[in-house]
Structure 1
Amino acid sequence: MENNLYRRNIIDIIRNFKPDQKNNELYERLFPATSRNKSAILVQLADGDASFTILSQNEAVIKKLAGIAGHPNLDELIKLGEDALLRKQQEEAEMQYKKKIGNHLEEVLLKRLSQNINAKVVSEQDGQDLVVYIDEKPVYYIEVKSKWLETTPIRISRNQTLRAHENPNGFALCSIDMSKYAGVDKYEVENIESVIDFMKFNTDLGSKVGHLVDIYANAHQLDKFSLDGDYRTLIPAGYIKEGMDLVGFEIKLLKYIESNYGMQRTDISN
Structure 2
Amino acid sequence: MQVQKFVSILFESPELKKNLLDKLECYPAQSFKLCSAKELKIDKILDLDFKNKYNEITEADIFNDLVISNFEKYLQHQDSIIAHTVGKEIEDIILGGKELYKNTLESNTAPELLTLLLDLIDHLSKEGSKWGEWLPRLNKEKEEILLSKFKDDKTRNSLFSILSKSPDKIQLLGKLSEIENLEELIKKGNEKLKEEARQKQHTDYIKSVGLKIQDLIENQLEKELAETIELLASEKDEKLANREEQNGQDFIIYKKQKPVYYIEVKSKWDENGRFLLSKNQTERCAEQKDNYAVVSVNVDRYKREKSENTENIDFNDLKDYIKVNIDLGKDFEILLSKNIVLNEKNSPKLVDFSGLIPQKVIDNDGVFFDSFMTDLKLFLLQVG
TM-score band by shorter chain is: 0.7 to 0.9
Q: Runs of 5+ in structure 2 lacking a partner?
A: 1-104, 235-245
1:178 maps onto 2:299 in alignment:
yes
- The SS at the match of 1:208 is helix
Largest Rg, 1 or 2: 2
Out of 113, 121, 125, the position equivalent to 1:14 is: 121
User: 1:39 is matched with which residue?
Assistant: 143
Q: Residues 14 and 123 (structure 1 numbering): CA distance in 2 closer, same or farther, change over 3 Å?
A: same
Q: Deviations over 1:157-194 (max 9, x none)?
A: 111111111111110011111112237584333x4211
Contact kept? 1:158, 1:216, Cα under 8 Å = no
Distance in 2 (CA, whole Å) between partners of 1:37 and 1:218 is: 78
SS for the counterpart of 1:155 is: strand
C-alpha deviation, 1:83, in angstroms: 1.7
Unpaired stretches in structure 1, ≥5 consecutive residues: 262-270
- Equivalent residue number for residue 268 of structure 1: none
TM-score, scaled to structure 1 = 0.81
- Tell me whether 138-147 or 78-87 shows the greater mean CA deviation: 78-87
Please give the alpha-carbon distance, in whole angstroms, between the structure 1 residues aligned to 2:259 and 2:218. 16
Distance 2:216 2:166 in 1: 50
In structure 1, the partner of 2:373 is 250
Letter in 1 for 2:162: I
Secondary structure in 2 aligned to 1:93?
A: helix
Q: How many residues align?
A: 255
Matched with 2:275 is 154
Deviation per CA, 1:80-138, whole angstroms, max 9, x where unpaired?
A: 21222221111111111101111111112211111132234332253311122234332
- If asked which structure has higher relative contact order (CA below 8 Å, sep 6+), I would say 1
Residue of structure 1 aligned with 2:288, choices 167, 178, 190: 167
1:196 is displaced (CA, Å) by 1.0
RMSD: 3.1
- 1:132 equivalent in alignment to 2:253: yes
C-alpha separation between the residues in 2 aligned to 1:83 and 1:95? 18
The answer to whether structure 1 residue 122 and structure 2 residue 232 are counterparts is yes
Q: Is the 8 A contact 2:262 2:293 kept in 1?
A: yes
Question: Normalising by the residue count of structure 2, what TM-score does the alignment of the two structures yield?
Answer: 0.59
Counterpart CA distance in 2 for 1:8 and 1:21 is 23
The answer to whether 1:5 aligns with 2:127 is no
2-structure distance, mates of 1:218, 1:55:
67
Q: Name the one with the larger helix percent.
A: 2
2:145 is matched by which residue type in structure 1? I
Change (3 A) 1:232 1:111: same
Amino acid at match of 2:311: Y
**CA deviation vs aligned residue, 1:231-258 (integer Å, no higher than 9, x gap):** 3111111110021111100011011111
Q: Which moved more, 1:174-183 or 1:36-45?
A: 36-45
Identity across the alignment (%): 27
- Residue 121 of structure 1 contacts residue 131 of structure 1 at CA under 8 Å; is this kept in 2? yes
